């Protein structure tokens, strides 16, 4: 069996999206599980749709997520270049081979002619495909049109009365009739190849063993098989992944859904959760676990566990998964990743010990990294109380609790968890109060809200001086 070599071949038309990430991730996981190579190839043959900076963004996103390629732009291997616009000579040479063998032909039809042809076929209820009107042109006619500068393309001549059969690693044996395939354009009028020609040629010369791609490419497979046969090449193993669906089971769309990976990272989703979630969009392990590190996925992943049915993109599950990673990753990791959000909010924290304590408390109650910043405001700012809370603090029992702590706290410094527990117990016994009557006024005075962490955590984060100051302030206002 030849070495496993797989490729992720995005078009530089925007940000990396969820569907693209899944393809890249499955390529990566399969390569790692088989001790193979993962290649990044940029398919930029549609120059009209190329977005400036998209290549850099794609590469940056993959690196941020830890899905690193073995060969590709900036990581050149023996099959460079890995950007298709730099390989045009190779494509034209092979297009000429197809022309010479009669497996391709020049087409001079205008866009208006093609539109009219399609409309007539649709009106008759026929399969919409090119009707080969230029196939009958003689060599002399073709030469004359080219010399006169007529715009033209090169089309693949698909076989007549032929049935393609191929094995797919996920779908098993698939058969498709050639009559349902168009004479695909191979070289466009601008001289650039289409995906179909460039991908087949590059897959061959880059020795790609498995083509892992979305289900939407299944109908194009006969064209790619035929191109390989025309060149006398062995076809790779086909792997067509299931569609990713919205919760209403419609296809997840780049236009209709927020599917940019960068967007999810910016919102504060953790890369570990994103990768874990995306890995399960069509794949599951034998024991149906849900939480995996990237290394564990590399050890566990196999193509035979990928399903044929559509995978549901459920944001609720991603939120749940992100919460799990928020609570279970090392505290230093979550603290470090929360820092940019504190800085963006204009809340830099110089005391790393305090920040670590805040994050430790917050991550038990937060789903996304920015939520940690909002949660921390109770410790870093003196929040304005709601009107009802102000009235509650003015009550006799509330003022008794605050007055007691205002007197006893300075005597008990330095505070630790045991002292806070002892003080709380002593206060409740002395004043005959317990439950909400005791805890609510203290929390309102200390953090401005009625619910929050336990008292030892609050005192630890605020520090004795700030805690006493806040309690004294509410005593004075009461």
pLDDT one-digit tens code per residue, 92-114: 999 999 999 999 999 999 999 99
Catalytic-role residue among 129, 145, 251, 254:
254
- Over residues 130-153, the mean pLDDT reads 95
Residue 31 near residue 38 (C-beta atoms within 8 A): yes
- Over residues 301-321, the mean pLDDT reads 95
Structure tokens at 14: 């925007």
pLDDT at position 412, please? 84
pLDDT at position 178, please? 86
- Over residues 380-401, the mean pLDDT reads 91
Residue 29 near residue 275 (C-beta atoms within 8 A): no
Average pLDDT over all residues of the chain = 93
Q: Check if CATH label 3.20.20.70 holds for domain 87-241.
A: no
CATH of 5-84+244-312, one of 3.30.420.40, 3.40.50.620, 3.30.565.10, 3.30.70.270: 3.40.50.620
- Over residues 299-306, the mean pLDDT reads 95
The Cα–Cα gap between 118 and 121 comes to 5
Residue 240 near residue 15 (C-beta atoms within 8 A): no
- Over residues 433-458, the pLDDT tens digits come to 888 999 999 999 999 999 989 999 99
The pLDDT-based confidence of 10 (bands split at 50, 70, 90) is very high
CATH top class, domain 330-380: mainly alpha
What long-range pairs does 255-261 form, CB within 8 A, spacing at least 24?
Answer: 257/313, 259/17, 259/18, 259/19, 259/313, 260/14, 260/15, 260/16, 260/17, 261/15, 261/16, 261/17, 261/18, 261/20, 261/21, 261/61, 261/65
- Over residues 129-151, the mean pLDDT reads 95
The Cα–Cα gap between 363 and 357 comes to 10
Q: Where are the domains of the chain?
A: 5-84+244-312, 87-241, 330-380, 387-477
Residue 182 near residue 158 (C-beta atoms within 8 A): yes
CATH top class, domain 387-477: mainly alpha
Provide the Cα torsion 442, 444, 446, 448; round to 10°.
Answer: 170
The Cα–Cα gap between 467 and 38 comes to 55
CA–centroid distance for 420 within its chain: 45
pLDDT at position 285, please? 87
Q: Is 254 one of the catalytic residues?
A: yes
255, pLDDT greater than 80: no
- Over residues 72-80, the mean pLDDT reads 93
- Over residues 202-243, the pLDDT tens digits come to 999 999 999 999 999 999 999 999 999 999 999 999 999 999
- Over residues 182-191, the mean pLDDT reads 95
The Cα–Cα gap between 98 and 155 comes to 9
- Nearest Cα residue to 29 out of 241, 225, 205, 196: 241
Q: Is the peptide bond before 414 cis (omega within 30 degrees of 0)?
A: yes
pLDDT at position 415, please? 85
Structure tokens at 423: 């003080």
pLDDT at position 258, please? 66
pTM over 0.85: yes
The answer to whether the 5-84+244-312 and 87-241 domains have the same CATH topology is yes
pLDDT at position 469, please? 93
257, pLDDT greater than 70: no
């Amino acid at each position: 069996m030849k070495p496993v070599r797989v490729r992720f071949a995005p078009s530089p038309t925007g940000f990396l999206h969820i569907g693209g990430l899944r393809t890249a991730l499955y390529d990566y996981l399969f390569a790692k599980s088989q001790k193979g190579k993962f290649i990044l190839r940029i398919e930029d043959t549609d120059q009209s749709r190329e977005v400036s900076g998209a290549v850099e963004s794609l590469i940056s996103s993959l690196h941020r997520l830890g899905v690193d390629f073995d060969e590709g732009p900036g990581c050149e291997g023996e099959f460079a270049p890995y950007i298709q616009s730099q390989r045009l000579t190779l494509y034209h040479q092979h297009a000429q081979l197809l022309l010479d063998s009669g497996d391709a032909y020049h087409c001079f039809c205008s866009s208006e002619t093609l539109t009219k042809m399609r409309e007539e076929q649709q009106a008759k209820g026929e399969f919409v495909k090119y009707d080969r009107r230029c196939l009958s042109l003689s060599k002399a006619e073709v030469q004359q049109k080219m010399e006169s500068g007529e715009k033209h393309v090169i089309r693949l001549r698909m076989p007549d009365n032929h049935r393609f059969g191929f094995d797919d690693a996920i779908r098993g044996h698939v058969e498709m009739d050639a009559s349902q395939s168009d004479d695909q354009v191979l070289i466009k009028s601008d001289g650039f190849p289409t995906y179909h020609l460039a991908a087949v040629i590059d897959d061959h010369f880059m020795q790609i063993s498995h083509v892992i791609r979305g289900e939407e490419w299944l109908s194009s497979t006969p064209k790619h098989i035929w191109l390989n046969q025309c060149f006398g090449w062995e076809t790779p193993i086909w792997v067509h992944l299931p569609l990713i669906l919205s919760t209403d089971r419609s296809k997840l769309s780049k236009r209709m859904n927020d599917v940019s990976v960068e967007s999810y990272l910016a919102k504060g989703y953790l890369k570990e959760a994103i990768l874990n979630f995306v890995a399960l969009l069509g794949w599951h392990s034998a024991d149906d676990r849900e939480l995996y590190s990237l290394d564990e996925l590399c050890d566990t992943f196999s193509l035979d566990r990928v399903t044929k049915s559509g995978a549901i993109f459920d944001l609720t599950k991603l939120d749940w998964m992100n919460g799990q990673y928020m609570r279970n990753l090392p505290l230093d990791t979550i603290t470090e990743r929360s820092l940019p959000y504190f800085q963006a909010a204009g809340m830099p924290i110089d005391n790393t010990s305090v920040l670590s304590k805040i994050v430790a408390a917050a991550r038990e109650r937060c789903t996304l990294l920015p939520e940690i910043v909002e949660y921390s405001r109770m410790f870093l700012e003196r929040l304005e109380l709601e009107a009802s809370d102000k009235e509650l603090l003015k009550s006799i029992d509330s003022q008794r609790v605050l007055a007691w702590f205002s007197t006893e706290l300075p005597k008990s410094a330095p505070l630790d968890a045991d002292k806070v527990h002892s003080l709380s117990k002593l206060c409740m016994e002395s004043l005959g109060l317990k439950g909400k009557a005791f805890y609510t006024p203290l929390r309102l005075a200390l953090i401005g809200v009625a619910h929050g962490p336990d008292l030892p955590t609050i005192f630890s984060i605020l520090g004795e001086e700030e805690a006493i100051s806040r309690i004294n302030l509410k005593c004075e206002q009461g």
